[in-house]
Amino acid sequence: MKSVGKKLSKNIPLALVSKIPIIGDIISATVSSFIEAHDEKKINNLLSIINEKLHNLDESKIDKTYLESDEFKDFIIKILKITREISLADRDFSFSEKVRFFASLVTENILIDRLKTKIIWRDTFIDIIKNLNDDELKFFRIMYDHSKKSKPLSITSTVFNSIEQKKSCVNSLISKGLIDDASIQKAKDRFSPGLTKVIKKEGLIIITDFGYEVIEYMFSIQKNLKENFLHPVNC
């Protein structure tokens, strides 16, 4: 893999896509069939990250037979179309957590030991993730890192201080079934031992079971990919 030569620049011109190790020729033939000029920056950023990952991947772990399949080519087309549809309004597209995830997904998908669990849910998970902006993904990740299913978090928690549009993130994640409003709680009634009372605490939220499925899928893709790298790299 190192024989490919020095790494391509951060923004890879589409004319050089074929130089990406392993999958360059496949992507090059696919991209040229539908890409438009205004899509080039988006696609370049995705391919630049894939290029970085492939230069760190153990080539012996790659399923080269699968690369020739129609299934893989259809998958590449799906991811390129998703990338084309991502809004450039995101704060910094080249460092978008969503773009980095899809780059990881493409790279992990060419492994012999690619993740096969929950494969029937993959398209559903991908559709959910593509419709989240970076703030929503960040909010979702913070919830996962700091919460338990049995312990709601408050939207006013300091763990969310880095996100300005907190209410908007909550509404979006609730609408997609990823988190739930947990404001209504049951608590022991201290005036009547043995009884419970319903209380309402504004702004309490909790990840749903489906939400855990989605974010754990993201983490499992990145974890499996890292285990097949020759050198550490950011997924």
Cβ partners under 8 Å of residue 49, min gap 6: 99, 100, 103
pLDDT in tens, 104-140: 999 999 998 888 766 778 889 999 998 998 889 999 9
106-127 b/e (C-beta count within 10 Å ≥ 16 → b):
bbbbbbeebbeeeeeebeebbe
Between helix 97-108 and helix 134-146 the angle, nearest 10°, is: 80
Q: Look at the pTM and tell me if it is higher than 0.75.
A: no
Q: Supply the mean pLDDT for the chain.
A: 78
Q: Hey, what CATH topology would domain 134-208 get?
A: Arc Repressor Mutant, subunit A (1.10.10)
CATH 1.10.10 domain residues, the chain: 134-208
pLDDT in tens, 21-60: 777 777 776 666 555 555 677 788 888 889 888 888 888 8
pLDDT in tens, 81-112: 888 887 755 545 545 788 889 999 999 999 98
Q: Mapping DSSP to helix (H, G, I), strand (E, B) and coil, where does residue 74 land?
A: helix
